[in-house]
Homo-oligomer: A and B are copies of this chain.
Amino acid sequence: MDYFVRVNMGTRSITEEKVPEKYLRLGGRALTAAVISNEVPAGSDPLGSSNKLVLAPGLLGGTGVSSSGRLSIGAKSPLTQCIKEANSGGTAGGYLARHGIRALIIEGAAANDDCYILYVGKDRDCRLIEADYKGEGVHALMSSLREKWGENISVVCIGPAGVNKMRGASISVSDPDFHPRFAARGGLGAVMGSKGLVAVVIESPGAAQREPVDKDKFRETTRNLNRALQENPKTGQSYRLYGTASILKVVNEIGCLPTRNFSAGSFEGAEALSGEALHDLIDERGGEGCYGQRCMPGCVIRCGNTVPDADGKAIVYNLQYETLALLGSNCGFSTIDAVARLNYLCNDIGLDSIEAGAALGVALEAGLAEFGDLEGAVKLLEEVRQASTLGRVIGNGALITGQVLGVERIPVSKGQAFPGYDPRALKGNGVTYATSPMGADHTAGNAFGSRATTDPLKKTEQVELSRKLQRQIALFDVLGLCMFTRSALPDLQVAVDLVNALYGWDLDVAALLKICDDLLQTEWAFNAREGYNPEHDRLPEIFSKEPLPPHNTVFDVDPEEMAGLRKFA
């Protein structure tokens, strides 16, 4: 794992270079942030040729550590105008790592509307191939690539939303079953589309994992961690049976479940959208339905699922909590079937289901259809696929949708839609939405798991909590480790041992944490350079004025206190 591969879409030149010294200890989000920060000039148009799209596995990518193959994808975001990283499961992260590619850097932009596929073969033998793209959805595109190149590939691709450069566009990554997983947020799919790159096809590097410097230590530590994951009730059982939807009932009970465009925090149909309901529906319907699916080989958590219809045929793969909240309760839908169908459409169009759900919620409030009107919502998503003017409005996300349609309650921070926790009843998340370099994000420091120790309705201690969580999550993003492993990780020494054994380094916990702190500082500095300062670390005014039922709280964390979050002790 020793190379940067640079692909210039303008000149179609492909070069590789040894990882420069200063980047050697960076992985995943730390690496995407550093490259973007150093190489994308200030004031670059995120959809112009100066922006760069960086794909980087984490430090533990390509090893036998459970859930360690996440792929970080970064760029300057057209949605937030800030630096962005979104990471995804799937096989691509592990494949790139095992090909020795620490970062795949896509630069420049193809001329006209030319479209290319990048093929990454063994020994980093890379080439650009002209694509005959005709507007296919993600599922058809993935299938056709598999047909052409066979089973032993991983695909990173976009759909019509990305090709049409919409700010809500995701990037999908194929998993072992060749179903799409997503680096969903921040409109990175639009960046990929703006470069004229519709897919990256990565040949399997074969069965061998990366060779650790200290094999015994690495094997032993890995074995211990994987065992801990299996023995932990959450990572060893709950995620497998109920997926991420396992939290939905509790989110509803504590009153922060986005409901009908964030107008309420509890939803009468929550029970029917819960992880338990999803589990039972899969059991009852059988057929292609299943839970416990892996997004990468060797994962012991297995939070994925296939949602079957009444005849047992798959409606969608990997229906997750955020989607159930945003496309479900937030749009007034109270059946898994409805949400699964909308989720499939978003996946196929290559559209972030969170951004799309928030944009639809806003559009429904504006009266483009009724809350709970499935055919109305389907029609709106099909408009996105067609890239009609209305479709482009929605495909560009919740903020633009709200601005165009004249809706006052637009649930966004730094231009990006809130995920599935209303910040008025889970105030720690409000702080994260407001202050994270990523904009509103559920993977940037999610306070849901801390509700037992920090009252989610109170404004006190939330800044400190969010700061702690933002640092913590950065570590997972650097390692390429799924954040769900958190519950089973006894302490950070395990991560340090793994990294040291793999690379032959001598980091201690403090040194590893410093990489994470530096990462956050790099991101904040990039954003400051682009004009995002602590004055932007606020939520839209309405969330501090309009009380949220059932607790009737507003978001009232002191803006001055939030503005201080960027400073680490």
- Residues in chain A within 8 A of chain B (CB atoms): 42-45, 47-48, 50, 164-167, 368, 389-390, 392-393, 396, 400, 403-406, 408, 528-533, 535-536, 538, 540-542, 545, 559
Given known A-B contacts A532-B531, A538-B43, A48 and B408 have beta carbons under 8 A apart? yes
Min C-beta distance of A367 to chain B, whole Å: 11
* A-B residue pairs in contact (CB < 8 Å), sample of 26: A42-B535, A42-B559, A43-B541, A44-B541, A45-B408, A45-B541, A47-B406, A47-B408, A48-B542, A164-B406, A167-B403, A368-B389, A389-B389, A389-B404, A390-B390, A392-B404, A393-B404, A396-B404, A400-B404, A404-B404, A529-B535, A531-B531, A531-B533, A531-B535, A531-B536, A533-B535
Minimal Cβ-Cβ distance residue in B for A544? B43
Quick one: which of A48, A536, A541 has the most chain B CB within 10 A?
A: A541
User: Judging by beta carbons under 8 Å apart, are A392 and B406 in contact?
Assistant: yes
Min C-beta distance of A35 to chain B, whole Å: 19
Minimal Cβ-Cβ distance residue in B for A541? B45
Which residues from B are CB-within-8-Å of A528?
Answer: 535
- Say whether chain A's binding surface is mostly helix, strand, loop, or mixed: loop
Q: How far is the CA of A167 from the CA of B405 in the complex (A)?
A: 11
Q: How far is the CA of A538 from the CA of B530 in the complex (A)?
A: 10
Min C-beta distance of A417 to chain B, whole Å: 15
Given known A-B contacts A44-B541, A530-B535, A390 and B389 have beta carbons under 8 A apart? yes
Min C-beta distance of A535 to chain B, whole Å: 4
Which residues from B are CB-within-8-Å of A165?
Answer: 406
Which residues from B are CB-within-8-Å of A408?
Answer: 45, 47-48
Q: How far is the CA of A505 from the CA of B535 in the complex (A)?
A: 39
Which residues from B are CB-within-8-Å of A542?
Answer: 45, 48
Which residues from B are CB-within-8-Å of A47?
Answer: 406, 408
Q: How far is the CA of A408 from the CA of B164 in the complex (A)?
A: 12
Q: A47-B406, A531-B535, A533-B533 are in contact. List 12 more A-B contacts (CB 8 A).
A: A44-B541, A48-B408, A48-B541, A48-B545, A50-B541, A165-B406, A167-B403, A389-B393, A400-B400, A530-B535, A531-B533, A533-B535
Which residues from B are CB-within-8-Å of A529?
Answer: 535
Which residues from B are CB-within-8-Å of A538?
Answer: 42-43
Q: How far is the CA of A405 from the CA of B535 in the complex (A)?
A: 30
Which residues from B are CB-within-8-Å of A50?
Answer: 541
Minimal Cβ-Cβ distance residue in B for A539? B43
Minimal Cβ-Cβ distance residue in B for A78? B403
Minimal Cβ-Cβ distance residue in B for A532? B531
Which residues from B are CB-within-8-Å of A42?
Answer: 535, 538, 559
Which residues from B are CB-within-8-Å of A536?
Answer: 531
Q: How far is the CA of A34 from the CA of B530 in the complex (A)?
A: 28
Q: How far is the CA of A535 from the CA of B529 in the complex (A)?
A: 6
Which residues from B are CB-within-8-Å of A545?
Answer: 48
Which residues from B are CB-within-8-Å of A406?
Answer: 47, 164-166, 392
Minimal Cβ-Cβ distance residue in B for A406? B165
Min C-beta distance of A211 to chain B, whole Å: 44
Minimal Cβ-Cβ distance residue in B for A390? B389
Given known A-B contacts A389-B389, A405-B392, A43 and B559 have beta carbons under 8 A apart? yes
Quick one: which of A43, A164, A406, A542 has the most chain B CB within 10 A?
A: A406
Min C-beta distance of A433 to chain B, whole Å: 14
Which residues from B are CB-within-8-Å of A166?
Answer: 406
Minimal Cβ-Cβ distance residue in B for A50? B541
Minimal Cβ-Cβ distance residue in B for A368? B389
